[in-house]
A and B are shown apart, each in its own frame.
Chain A
Amino acid sequence: MSVSVDPLFPEPAQQQSAQPLRPHAEHAFATELTALAAQDDRPRPARWKLSPWAVATYLLGGTLPDGTVITPKYVGPRRIVEVAVTTLATDRALLLLGVPGTAKTWVSEHLAAAVSGDSTLLVQGTAGTPEEAIRYGWNYAQLLANGPSRAALVPSPVMRAMTEGRTVRVEELTRIPADVQDSLITILSEKTLPVPELGEEVQAVRGFNLVATANDRDRGVNELSSALRRRFNTVVLPLPESVEAEVGIVARRVDQIGRSLDLPAAPDGVDEIRRVVTVFRELRDGITSDGRTKVKSPSGTLSTAEAISVVTGGLALAAHFGDGVLRAGDVAAGILGAVVRDPAADRVVWQEYLEAVVRERHGWTDFYRACREVSG
């Protein structure tokens, strides 16, 4: 049997990778983790894959004695990572706060990967998260057939982390309804999960950790009760302090994402990246980088994550529809989309910024023209 090949839609290459779009951190950085584990001779807490010092090195980057280079996962103040790791080492729960786009989820994922070697135990908090997501659910068939028993219990990620001594991540803790949030209180203070239906309890073994993230700039958040708040050590992740730091972060992440999307690396793209970052910072801070002109801030956050996505989009545009070099026109549409969230107010802000700042700036004429074109 011959296989007909349709000339219009030829078979895609056999090399189509079955790789997932975004592998987990413990798989993506497996080499680094194994190298660290091999070279780490400091004491490790029970069931931790690495010592706290090694976890900190994994997150902050460094060079091992045998020459392996650990890429930095989090670029920011050192003490943030140190406090986060120490919190987990002292069996306290960790709460990561920050505006959207400051790498809270990123840090929690890598922390879980480094500490427990597994970042898949995840509870996604939404306004409709039920208690089963945090405690346990029931296998109703089993329940009805054989009555309540351990076999009829469907453990939640938290319960599994407790029994196996691993790290569980709770995303968007403040979105979870307050009554469900409070079921965490006993888990965190007594490290036990009572199962009243069976008259039993599940006790956490050593190595159990909980990392939560929360957004402090949003509508519809349920503030944590003070009892729950007390069970956490809070670390606030700041926005990058300097332009250089932010450009570095964006460039590195764009590089990583680009590789996973098979985008060709853009040569000399750093200037465009710097331009995007500058625009975002000026709008975010409300003042131009030379400190002379005030600008209004739009309603969105214009965080680093958004800058990364704008640049990645621009790269994709350049690669597939352009000549492979990242230019102003490629990022202009993305910037417009990121800045103008509220069509009424933000548009005015954007126009003002364009006319007052971008037009006057030396060397930005192509950018200005591209933005004008896109703004219509």
Chain B
Amino acid sequence: MTGVQNTGGRRAARSDDDTRWPFLLGVRHHGPGSARAVRAALDAARPRAVLVEGPPEADALIPLAADPDMRPPVALLAHAVDEPGRSMFWPMAEFSPEWVALRWALDHDVPARFIDLPATHTLAWQGEEDVGARREPQETAERAGAEGEPAEPGTRARADGLRADPLATLAEIAGHDDAERWWEDVVEHRGAGVGDPFAPFAALDEAMGALREAEDGAGENSRDLVREAYMRLQVRAAQKEFGDDGVAVVCGAWHVPALRRRTAVAADRALLKGLAKVRADLTWVPWTHRRLARAGGYGAGIDSPGWYAHLFGAPDRPVERWLTKVAVLLREEDRIVSSAHVIEAVRLAETLAALRGRPLPGLAETTDAVRAVLCEGSDVPLALVRDRLVVGDVLGEVPAGAPSVPLQRDLDRLQRRLRLKPEAAERELELDLRGETDAERDRLLHRLRLLGVAWGEPAVSRSGTGTFRETWRLRWEPELSVRVAEAGVWGTTVRAAATSKAEADAVAARGLAEVTALAERCLLAGLADALPTVMRILADRAALDTDVGRLAQALPALVRSLRYGDVRGTDTGALAEVAAGLAERIFVGLPPACAALDADAADEMRRHVDAVHGAVGLLEETAADATGGAAGEGASTEGGRHGRGLRGRWREVLRVLAGRERVPGVVRGRAVRLLLDDGQLDHEEAARLMGLALSPGTPPAGAAAWIEGFVGGGAGGGLLLVHDERLLALVDGWLTRVPAEAFTDVLPLLRRTFSAYDAGVRRTLGELVRRGPGERAGAERAGPVPRGYADGLDTERADAVLPVVRLLLGLDDGRGSGGDGDSEPVRAGTTGPWEAGT
């Protein structure tokens, strides 16, 4: 063991009297077996002080553990005050030995202290190793204390595992894959724990000593030595204060031999000189069973916290109770599980345990029994059992009196007022924004998201659409407490913090689209104070940005925000101004930007044109609504003028685009279509433009692109053609006029346009074309029409039929005695059932 004097070797013979104290209870973190053993040992020993492995700054927080509102699993959170992002946890579940020790001390009025290295140092280490981790990507570090000097990966990994969970290593050596099983089998079920509560710890002490000697050199690392030195000093100090025979220490089993070793005080102090410091703040935060694996403080993880909690809490018959819980869960999921199933499962579990040579059934045996009996061999329900019961969704609670950043307190207040409890299980929340409470809840969730506390995710609502409804998916993860603590630098209330963060984000935003997205979020979160800043920055950015595409991308988001503003009742005058300004810039910039684009860019520009068109429409609506509501008639107010003016100017732009040659065909066609839809163009004009675009002089690709712009865009264009005969006539007319050679060139592009339509739409189009006569104004027939299929009557053919008709009707021999109602001679030119040709 390098670096530390090894006086008084471990193997020296000791008498029971003087070396029982201080009691070193080496435990497995989060092990219920260890927890029970600790409780029994403390009851028997009755120390005058209890020392626990943990950050000493948390000593002031210990009394809170006795608070009735404190419900594990909870964790001690230490975070660096000046550096958000650096934090560490020491989680404790109700079956953690540390928690049991603290509660015992509080219940028996015995002082309890934490004796691990202070968080200021360990947080500083974490910062160093983060830097190191960035340099060496293969370091799979867990925070604080689990780092080794660069030895070869094999030994280092093994040493890491050993240090983190030495009992698991012992269990592995003994042939068990689960450390808790091994502890149960070895200590609890064999009845050794019943007799002498200290025997298991003494045995563990020796075993750990042997292990540490065996791993000599390969696993040592400097940080552990420092921590152990600190712990030794603390134990010494406590012994001085409470007497040599009054101190019990609960720490990880790995450290027990180090604490028992006698070393010189000076040597220990020397190790502690010159450690880096960082200002740290500590508090209790709620934790979940799921995160017990991600400790951060210890590095030990457990896979089945729900099972351990059950083992710890069950008064008797753990197996029967567990299987009953499983049966209840499966019944809730509509599987048929009867009591007979449970009986058989218990029998199977116990016999399996006997077969495997274990004194009592453990998690593996019960899982196998559940699979074979309750789940009928299938692994699918078993996964559910594992998720809900073996891991579990328990979220701890921390009393209101715990120290926390003001932001956390504000958040707690809001949560209580709005009756929105944080829960570990995921759930969906539907909010109706017309209600006051729901609207506030929505705002709170949006503000939290702005601050980086992603408690809720907006979800697509299943039932009902409409701007009044918002659906959220909520899930409280324990890390969110850290985020809240970090966000505390922004302000003391949620609203203030969100406002300053939004402003800071706006200043730091890189692109125009970011700022508009931020504006949208500000509106969603109801941060009216942040809006002026964001708007100013938006206006500045828009003024400086020369890329029409980006501007066009930003506009729809802005207009959406305007609409939200109306729905949520915020004042959006400034926003409307900015939107109008942005729209103006786009109008000016669009025609030059459309010149000389290649096919991909042209497609994108077409999309922009569509987006802007939609946005302008909404803008005018919104402006009209706003002014209409405000000023009654709203005839000549700014907003109204804005709105109408905007649309008029947009139409001008479209006209320009439609007429300019250098603009790619797709965009031109789209512009013509939009004008046609708006009623600004009549069909003759559209036909003329189409004719121009599709005249033989233009290259076929350009013509097909024009068509694509005109009627393309998926179902919308197709339906338009179906319902508007005149447009169909236009297209049909052009198509039939195309000469044969050009047709083959044009065909692939046309096919692309028309293949985007639905099959139903295509069929309808085909039938319409086949049916032929409708109002085909302006269409010419190509080629001669087969006789009898023209529009008007073909009198020659009609005359030819007359004799036969007379014969049929019996008019010739004058026998028509009223049997047929058609006694009038059929004359050509009257309409009747035999119109020529149809």
Q: Which residues of B contact A52 (CB under 8 A)?
A: 351, 355
Whether, in the assembled complex, A230 has its beta carbon less than 8 Å from a beta carbon of chain B, the answer is yes
Q: Which residues of A contact B364 (CB under 8 A)?
A: 79
Whether, in the assembled complex, B65 has its beta carbon less than 8 Å from a beta carbon of chain A, the answer is no
Q: Which residues of B contact A56 (CB under 8 A)?
A: 355
Q: Which residues of B contact A95 (CB under 8 A)?
A: 377
Q: Which residues of A contact B355 (CB under 8 A)?
A: 52-53, 56, 82, 85-86, 89
Distance between Cα atoms of A368 and B123 in the complex (Å)? 61
Whether, in the assembled complex, B479 has its beta carbon less than 8 Å from a beta carbon of chain A, the answer is no
**A233-B373 in contact given A82-B356, A83-B368 (Cβ < 8 Å):** yes
Whether, in the assembled complex, B728 has its beta carbon less than 8 Å from a beta carbon of chain A, the answer is no
Whether, in the assembled complex, A276 has its beta carbon less than 8 Å from a beta carbon of chain B, the answer is no
Q: Which residues of A contact B348 (CB under 8 A)?
A: 83, 86-87, 90, 92, 233
**A89-B351 in contact given A83-B372, A229-B376 (Cβ < 8 Å):** yes
In contact, A230 and B341 (Cβ under 8 angstroms)? yes
**In the complex, which of the residues A79, A86, A230, A236 contacts B340, with contact meaning CB atoms closer than 8 Å?**
A230
In contact, B351 and A230 (Cβ under 8 angstroms)? no
Q: Which residues of A contact B373 (CB under 8 A)?
A: 233-234
User: How far apart are B633's CB and chain A's nearest CB, in angstroms?
Assistant: 65
Q: Which residues of B contact A53 (CB under 8 A)?
A: 355
A44-93 residues at the B interface, CB under 8 angstroms: 52-53, 56, 79, 82-83, 85-87, 89-90, 92
Q: Which residues of A contact B275 (CB under 8 A)?
A: none
Using an 8 Å CB-CB cutoff, how does the interface string of B117-145 with A read, 1 for contact, 0 for none? 00000000000000000000000000000
In contact, A233 and B344 (Cβ under 8 angstroms)? yes
User: How far apart are A111's CB and chain B's nearest CB, in angstroms?
Assistant: 14
In contact, A234 and B356 (Cβ under 8 angstroms)? no
Whether, in the assembled complex, A226 has its beta carbon less than 8 Å from a beta carbon of chain B, the answer is yes
**A233-B372 in contact given A90-B347, A92-B344, A97-B377 (Cβ < 8 Å):** yes
**A235-B377 in contact given A82-B356, A230-B338, A230-B340 (Cβ < 8 Å):** yes
Q: Which residues of B contact A229 (CB under 8 A)?
A: 376
**In the complex, which of the residues A83, A90, A233, A236 contacts B378, with contact meaning CB atoms closer than 8 Å?**
A236
Distance between Cα atoms of A83 and B352 in the complex (Å)? 7
Distance between Cα atoms of A95 and B338 in the complex (Å)? 19
In contact, A87 and B338 (Cβ under 8 angstroms)? no
Q: Which residues of A contact B379 (CB under 8 A)?
A: 236
**In the complex, which of the residues B341, B356, B372 contacts A87, with contact meaning CB atoms closer than 8 Å?**
B372
**A86-B351 in contact given A230-B341, A233-B372 (Cβ < 8 Å):** yes
Using an 8 Å CB-CB cutoff, how does the interface string of A307-321 with B read, 1 for contact, 0 for none? 000000000000000
Q: Which residues of B contact A87 (CB under 8 A)?
A: 348, 372
Distance between Cα atoms of A113 and B700 in the complex (Å)? 82
In contact, A86 and B377 (Cβ under 8 angstroms)? no
User: How far apart are B277's CB and chain A's nearest CB, in angstroms?
Assistant: 48
User: How far apart are A82's CB and chain B's nearest CB, in angstroms?
Assistant: 6
Range of interface residues on chain B? 20 to 34
Closest B residue by C-beta to A189: B340
**A82-B352 in contact given A230-B338, A230-B341, A233-B372 (Cβ < 8 Å):** yes
Count residues of A near B (Cβ-Cβ below 8 Å).
21
A93-139 residues at the B interface, CB under 8 angstroms: 95, 97
Q: Which residues of B contact A236 (CB under 8 A)?
A: 377-379
Closest A residue by C-beta to B352: A86
User: How far apart are A79's CB and chain B's nearest CB, in angstroms?
Assistant: 5
B315-367 residues at the A interface, CB under 8 angstroms: 336, 338, 340-341, 344, 347-348, 351-352, 355-356, 364
Using an 8 Å CB-CB cutoff, how does the interface string of A12-55 with B read, 1 for contact, 0 for none? 00000000000000000000000000000000000000001100
Distance between Cα atoms of A234 and B380 in the complex (Å)? 14
Distance between Cα atoms of A230 and B339 in the complex (Å)? 11
Q: Which residues of A contact B372 (CB under 8 A)?
A: 83, 87, 233-235
Closest B residue by C-beta to A94: B372
In contact, B347 and A79 (Cβ under 8 angstroms)? no
User: How far apart are B372's CB and chain A's nearest CB, in angstroms?
Assistant: 4
User: How far apart are A297's CB and chain B's nearest CB, in angstroms?
Assistant: 21
Distance between Cα atoms of A369 and B183 in the complex (Å)? 60
Distance between Cα atoms of A95 and B376 in the complex (Å)? 9
Closest A residue by C-beta to B350: A90
Distance between Cα atoms of A53 and B358 in the complex (Å)? 13
User: How far apart are B343's CB and chain A's nearest CB, in angstroms?
Assistant: 11
User: How far apart are A342's CB and chain B's nearest CB, in angstroms?
Assistant: 28
Distance between Cα atoms of A33 and B341 in the complex (Å)? 34
User: How far apart are A206's CB and chain B's nearest CB, in angstroms?
Assistant: 15
**A82-B368 in contact given A52-B355, A92-B344, A226-B336 (Cβ < 8 Å):** yes
Distance between Cα atoms of A87 and B349 in the complex (Å)? 10
Distance between Cα atoms of A77 and B252 in the complex (Å)? 34
Q: Which residues of A contact B336 (CB under 8 A)?
A: 226
In contact, B351 and A79 (Cβ under 8 angstroms)? no
User: How far apart are B662's CB and chain A's nearest CB, in angstroms?
Assistant: 46
Q: Which residues of B contact A92 (CB under 8 A)?
A: 344, 347-348
Closest A residue by C-beta to B379: A236
In contact, A234 and B377 (Cβ under 8 angstroms)? yes
Distance between Cα atoms of A236 and B336 in the complex (Å)? 19
User: How far apart are B349's CB and chain A's nearest CB, in angstroms?
Assistant: 9
Q: Which residues of B contact A90 (CB under 8 A)?
A: 344, 347-348, 351
Closest B residue by C-beta to A237: B377
Closest B residue by C-beta to A97: B377
Distance between Cα atoms of A70 and B253 in the complex (Å)? 41
User: How far apart are B339's CB and chain A's nearest CB, in angstroms?
Assistant: 11
User: How far apart are B674's CB and chain A's nearest CB, in angstroms?
Assistant: 43
Can you list 7 residue pairs at the A/B interface with Cβ under 8 Å?
A: A52-B355, A90-B348, A90-B351, A92-B344, A230-B341, A233-B373, A236-B377
Q: What are the nearest 7 A-B pairs in CB distance?
A: A234-B377, A236-B377, A233-B372, A234-B376, A86-B351, A86-B352, A90-B351
Give chain A's interface residues, CB within 8 Å of chain B.
52-53, 56, 79, 82-83, 85-87, 89-90, 92, 95, 97, 226, 229-230, 233-236
